[in-house]
Amino acid sequence: MAIFLSNDDVRRLLPMDECVTVLEDLFKQESKGTVENLPRQRFRFGKAAATLMGGTVLDSHAFAVRHSSATLLYNTETGKLDAVLEPGTLAWIRTGAASGVAVKYMAKADASVVGMIGTGRQAVTQIEAICAVRAIKTVKVHSRAAEKREAFAAEMAKRLGVEVVPVESPEDCVHGSQIVVAITSAREPVFDGALLEPGTCVVAAGSNSWMKREVDDTTIQRAALVVVDNLEQAQIECGELIWAVERGTFRWRQARELHQIVSGEVPGRPSADAITLFESQGIGIEDVAASAYVLQKARAAGIGQELPF
């Protein structure tokens, strides 16, 4: 019998540290060829809009299709529907977890200072994930509204038990940070890549549209390693890289996929002073792996509402 799992159920069942581990294992599976990603598709119906994405994760016995309002999770051994999940909270957690996996492999082992540009809801799980993989001492946060960044800093300091400091400019965020995260909806770059210090790991996680750019061409050119979660989807949605390719300052063959880094096929840090860049679009197989894990825990705990089919 299939079960329904709400956003509240997912939040209870999917702590950030566990989600990071789930996605790390997912990318190891991908390096073995046992997963298949279905890139996001966007649809418009008059004033309404919807997205579809998903994929197959064979080691998890899972295939899923995620719609804007529901994820349908199927068992690859039986072909039957196993679960229907509300997708919002799971996508929120796994987006942060994917950045956590990237930081684990692409940031300096002793990185302790994070500069975060953007203080919306998505920034919460970015900090949670980074703190799960590095011993972070200080997080500097910036957004345009002073009251929002101050409230965000106070809330996150209480939640995570680390120093979270609101700062007045993107430059303050970048200066002295070993990890720099952009998690905004900006259409133009939010910081000057010339300010990045040697050895910095940059995470661009807010944009998944060809019309948006969070990092500038200087950042891309200075990066010794540019990693995407999925190349096919990046070629459709990664505005920064699309922009750079169109102007001849970057070539798609230079990009590496995250599974290559996690598997060890490509070193996550080419050198101690290397600047690394992770371009996160958020991909369907992340939803599949995380959904399958949540279902496993829900069954064991007796959580979920049985469905009549």
Domain boundary assignment for the chain? 3-91+284-306, 102-279
Q: Which residue has the higher pLDDT, 212 or 108?
A: 108
Percent above pLDDT 90 for the chain: 93
Spatial separation of the C-alpha atoms in residues 77 and 100, rounded to whole Å: 31
CA angle 59, 77, 85 (to 5 degrees): 75
Q: What CATH homologous superfamily does 102-279 map to?
A: NAD(P)-binding Rossmann-like Domain (3.40.50.720)
List the strands of the sheet with 256-257, edge to edge: 163-166, 138-142, 113-117, 179-182, 201-204, 275-279, 223-228, 256-257
Tell me which residue of 201, 180, 8 sits closest to 93, measured CA to CA.
8
In CATH terms, are 3-91+284-306 and 102-279 the same topology? no
pLDDT per residue as tens digits for the range 176-209: 999 999 999 899 999 999 999 999 999 999 877 7
DSSP secondary structure string for all residues of 12-35: HH--HHHHHHHHHHHHHHHHTT-E
pLDDT per residue as tens digits for the range 127-177: 999 999 999 999 999 999 999 999 999 999 999 999 999 999 999 999 999
CA dihedral of 30, 268, 159, 284, whole degrees rounded to 10: -20
CATH of span 3-91+284-306: 3.30.1780.10
pLDDT value for 110? 98
- Chain mean pLDDT for the chain: 96
Report whether pLDDT(63) > 90: yes
pLDDT per residue as tens digits for the range 7-30: 999 999 999 999 999 999 999 999
DSSP secondary structure string for all residues of 95-108: HHHHHHHHHHHHS-
Parallel/antiparallel/unpaired status of strands 179-182 and 163-166: unpaired
Q: Decide: 117 and 126 in contact? Cβ < 8 Å.
A: no
pLDDT value for 143? 95
pLDDT tier at 31, thresholds 50, 70, 90: very high
Any idea how long the chain is?
309
pLDDT value for 210? 80
- Residues near 51 by beta carbon (within 8 Å), at least 6 away in sequence: 40, 41, 42, 43, 66, 67, 68
Report whether pLDDT(215) > 90: yes
pLDDT value for 309? 86
Average the pLDDT over 276-292 and give the result. 97
